[in-house]
Each structure stands twice: as C-alpha cells, then as structure tokens.
A and B are shown apart, each in its own frame.
Chain A
Amino acid sequence: MVPLSYYLILSGILFSCGVAGFLIKRNIITIFMSIELMLNGVNLSFVAFAAQWHALSGQIFVFFVMVVAAAEAAVGLAIIIAVYRTRETLNVDQVNLLKL
C-alpha cells in the first residue's frame, strides 16, 4: 500500500524538474522536452487520484492529455525545424527579434 501523498510528491518533483528545465535550458529542443516532463508529472497525479477515488474518468483524461501532447510535439517540432531553417540556431537567446 502506497499513500496517495507519495504519488503526489513524485508528481510534484517531476513537474518542478520540468519547470526548472524550461527556465534554465537554452536549447529549444531541451526546453520542449521539459514541457513533456511537466505533462508526465500531471498525468501521474491524474492516475493516482483516479485510483484513490475509484473514478476511471481520470485515466480517460490521461489518454486525452497524451493525444494533445502528441499533436503538440508534431507541430512544435515542425516549428523548431522552421525556426532552425531561418535562424540557423537552436539557442533561444539568439532568437530575439521580438525582444525590446
């Protein structure tokens, strides 16, 4: 038997690692992977709550999150390819045309 709080702590740690990676990483692909890590952390808490409250709809939501993540990854990586083609770099600090 594993207490629910353990799952929530693991989910929180994964989400925090995702946020930290999003903020400190400078490679646009790694930043994108950090977003996937955050989504995974949220999915874990969805499944843990589904098991806790005996509500299977929590697992259905995880399924939808995965579908949206797959669509997001396809479009996001296509955008990264387009950015690389015009800017010749993957460093987000050098993609700064909209900066003041």
Chain B
Amino acid sequence: MISVHLVLFLIFGAVCVAGAINLLAQSHPINSALSLVVVMGALAVEYLLLGAEFVAAVQVIVYAGAIMVLFVFVIMLLNAGAEERTKGGSYVAMVVGIPGLVLGSGLLAWVLVARSGTDAVPAGALSGSPKELAPLLFHEFLLPFEVTSILVLIAIMGAVVLASHPNADQKKENA
C-alpha cells in the first residue's frame, strides 16, 4: 500500500533532484541561485515529513531566506553574466570526477541492493518541535551554542573588513 508520506516524499524528492540538476545545467548564476531556492524549499518539506518542524522552519528562514538573498545580492552587485566555458575542460575534473562518480554510484547501488530492507522511518514519531529541542540546545549543547555565537560575530567582522573598499579612508580624506 502506498502511503501519503511516500507520495509526498517522491513528489518533493523529484522537485529536489530537478532543482539540483537545473543548477548544473543553467549557465547564468541567477538561474542557478533560483533553482537552489527551489531545492531548499523542497528539502524543508522533506524535513517536515521527518517530523523536524524547527529544522524545516530554520531551513526556510535561514537558508532559502537569508543565505540565498545574500547570493542574489552579490550576483546583482557584481553584475555577473553567463559563465564563459573554457575549452578542453579541467584536467582535475577528469582525474577526480570519474572515479568519484563511479564510487558515488557504487555506493548508491549498494544502498539500493543490500540495504533496501531497512526499517521504514516512522512518520511523526519523533517531534522536532522547539519545545523538545530547547532543553538539548541550551543544556547539553550550551558550549557549542555559545561558540557558534562567537563564530558568527567573527564572520560578521571578517565580512565587513573583506568587503570594505581598501582605499575608503584615503578617499574620505581627499574629499
């Protein structure tokens, strides 16, 4: 019997894969960015199917919202056009890519053949609501949580320093 969960998983999984392949196929970065937004939105639905409500909400707000807006903003700022294809292709891509592809498809085939009988993930058995996650995050993982706040602070300062114009101070003095 086909359950609603399986149907939803297959639909949004197909959307995910289509978005990921479209990211590779498009030559203009803005099209790639928009297909990445589609992938992230579909992944949020997959998280909801697994009962991870908080993660799904954060996925939409942080990933599809904040990070992708940053990407689109930089594409606009740098006026990025369609990418130029270089002739001959990368040597490294050939040397690393083909064995990697073989390894990846071998792993996929192994999961499909040998592990297809694994237990079904019980839908909604594990509630990932903020109420259940908060004790974990603020008791057991308090130290990593505080460390990430320092990391984000350093990242903000680094981004401001790196993106600021090197001659901004001199120009101000001349003006």
A-side interface residues toward B, CB under 8 Å? 1-10, 12-21, 23-27, 29-30, 32-34, 36-37, 40, 43-44, 47-48, 50-52, 54, 56-57, 59-60, 62-64, 66-75, 77-82, 84-85, 90-91, 93
The reply to whether B120 and A1 contact each other, CB–CB distance below 8 Å, is yes
The reply to whether B152 and A70 contact each other, CB–CB distance below 8 Å, is yes
Question: Can you list 16 pairs linking A and B with CB atoms under 8 Å apart?
Answer: A5-B112, A14-B17, A17-B24, A25-B83, A30-B29, A44-B47, A51-B51, A51-B52, A51-B122, A57-B140, A62-B52, A62-B55, A63-B58, A64-B148, A68-B148, A74-B155
The reply to whether B67 and A69 contact each other, CB–CB distance below 8 Å, is yes
Majority SS at the chain B contact face? helix
A-B contact count (CB 8 A): 238
The reply to whether B20 and A13 contact each other, CB–CB distance below 8 Å, is yes
Q: Which B22-76 residues have a C-beta within 8 angstroms of A?
A: 23-24, 29, 32-33, 36, 39-40, 43, 46-47, 49-52, 54-55, 58-59, 62-63, 66-67, 70-71, 74-75
B-side interface residues toward A, CB under 8 Å? 3, 5-6, 9, 13, 16-17, 20-21, 23-24, 29, 32-33, 36, 39-40, 43, 46-47, 49-52, 54-55, 58-59, 62-63, 66-67, 70-71, 74-75, 77-78, 80, 83-86, 90, 92-93, 96-97, 100-101, 104, 107-108, 111-112, 115-116, 118-123, 125-126, 128, 132-133, 136-137, 140-141, 144, 148, 151-152, 154-156, 158-163, 165
